[in-house]
Amino acid sequence: MTRDAQGTILVAPHHFPNLDREHALAEEFGYKLNPAADAVGFRAGLPEADIVMITPYAKLTAADFPVMRKCRAVIRYGIGYDNIDVAAATEAGIPVSIVPGTASEEVASHAFAMGLALARRLPAGDASIRDLGWAGTIGYDTPVLSELEVGVLGMGRIGQHVARMYQAVGARVRAYDPFVTDSFVEMTGLEDVLENSDVVSLHLPLNDDTANLVSGDVLAKMRKGAVVVNVSRGGLIDEAALAAALTSGHIAGAGIDTFAHEPLGPEHPLRSAPNAILTPHIAWRSNRSTGALQDGAVERVRLALTGQPLIDLVN
């Protein structure tokens, strides 16, 4: 730390084009910005950090908070916070603030594009040509859009966007959300959505109740030829069971943008599973979303540094 620095703002490993906003904020308040190059550097910087800005590429565990004696706030870039032990943060008296809503349209359109591509069996057709084959029986089991039954799990900002997108092309949409009883689409039970949909689109948080929600048993009960889309949180789906269901043909396709462990390991079974569209946690990205996300995080740091109440607290 420089001699006249008031404190340190620690930034977790990231993939942002730059940290110009964060550097400007630190300079404005006379703080040092410490961008960690990796998880080891991030953990090493925790004891001196007054503010921690965390991305999906680092974790804050119960073992970390006791050393964070200077920390005034943890700011999570984005809406998911399953990489933060919130209970431990609360016990340590450290508020945790998230940045929701900066990429709802981007994530929803990613899920929608995946769902339509899979329902129309585009990956199967593409693979057939690349394998020097032709049409065969591809697509004979595909419902027309006006009869496509879509199940949306989770009716927050993104889930609502997805539901409206499917409605706009004429699909039949139903949804499940444990906290929503009335909506612009028919609300029904969890099992009903999972077992009676052609497309199941996941938009739920990851917690003890939702971990491995889509298990091997659930996949077996799903409609033969159904497709699954997860742009929400890794860990909602038993990925090995999903790979097996794709290989057997019971599940006709899967679109996955978030994984239980990232980056995806070289031997992960989904890498070789058929009819899978896999993207590296980029559903939130666009030509506007990165700036909006960083602006939101910087705004929350400013609140913390000026002693104002933090917004979007999760504890």
Domain CATH number, residue 153: 3.40.50.720
Burial per residue of 102-129, b for 16 or more beta-carbon CB atoms within 10 angstroms, e otherwise: bbbbbbbbbbbbbbbbbbbbbbbbeeee
Same-domain status, 15 and 150: no
Query: What is the domain range of residue 92?
Result: 8-102+287-305
Same-domain status, 14 and 118: no
What is the arithmetic mean of pLDDT over 47-69? 97
- Check whether 1 has a pLDDT greater than 70: no
Same-domain status, 51 and 150: no
Q: Convert the pLDDT of each residue in 134-190 to its tens digit.
A: 999 999 999 999 999 999 999 999 999 999 999 999 999 999 999 999 999 999 999
Same-domain status, 294 and 163: no
**Residues that are catalytic:** 233, 262, 281
- Check if the beta carbon of residue 223 is closer than 8 Å to that of residue 249: no
Same-domain status, 49 and 83: yes
Same-domain status, 120 and 46: no
Q: What is the pLDDT of residue 2?
A: 43
> Is 3 within a domain?
no
Closest CA to 183 of 228, 209, 204, 152: 152
Closest CA to 241 of 257, 258, 221: 221
- Check if the beta carbon of residue 110 is closer than 8 Å to that of residue 231: yes
Same-domain status, 270 and 292: no
Closest CA to 232 of 253, 215, 210: 210
Same-domain status, 118 and 57: no
What is the arithmetic mean of pLDDT over 6-29? 96
Q: What is the pLDDT of residue 126?
A: 96
Which amino acid, residue 215? S
> Is 2 within a domain?
no
By DSSP bridging, strand 226-230 and strand 172-176 are: unpaired
Same-domain status, 120 and 231: yes
Q: Convert the pLDDT of each residue in 223-269 to its tens digit.
A: 999 999 999 999 999 999 999 999 999 999 999 999 999 999 999 99
Question: Model pTM?
Answer: 0.88
Domain total for the chain?
2
Q: What is the pLDDT of residue 3?
A: 47
> Is 256 within a domain?
yes
HEC-encoded secondary structure of the chain: CCCCCCCEEEECCCCCCCCHHHHHHHHHHCCEEEECCCHHHHHHHHHHCCEEEECCCCCECCCCHHHCCCCCEEEECCCCCCCECHHHHHHCCCCEEECCCCCHHHHHHHHHHHHHHHHCCHHHHHHHHHCCCCCCCCCCCCCCHHHCEEEEECCCHHHHHHHHHHHHCCCEEEEECCCCCCCCCEECCHHHHHHCCCEEEECCCCCCCCCCCECHHHHHHCCCCEEEEECCCCCCECHHHHHHHHHHCCEEEEEECCCCCCCCCCCCHHHHCCCEEECCCCCCCCCCHHHHHHHHHHHHHHHHHCCCCCCCECC
The two three-digit tokens of residue 63, written as one number: 């073992």
> Is 136 within a domain?
yes
Same-domain status, 113 and 243: yes
Bond before 263 cis per omega within 30 degrees: yes
> Is 312 within a domain?
no
- The Cα–Cα gap between 114 and 253 comes to 10
Q: Convert the pLDDT of each residue in 100-109 to its tens digit.
A: 999 999 999 9
> Is 310 within a domain?
no
Same-domain status, 37 and 65: yes
> Is 167 within a domain?
yes
Same-domain status, 243 and 165: yes
By DSSP bridging, strand 51-54 and strand 73-76 are: parallel
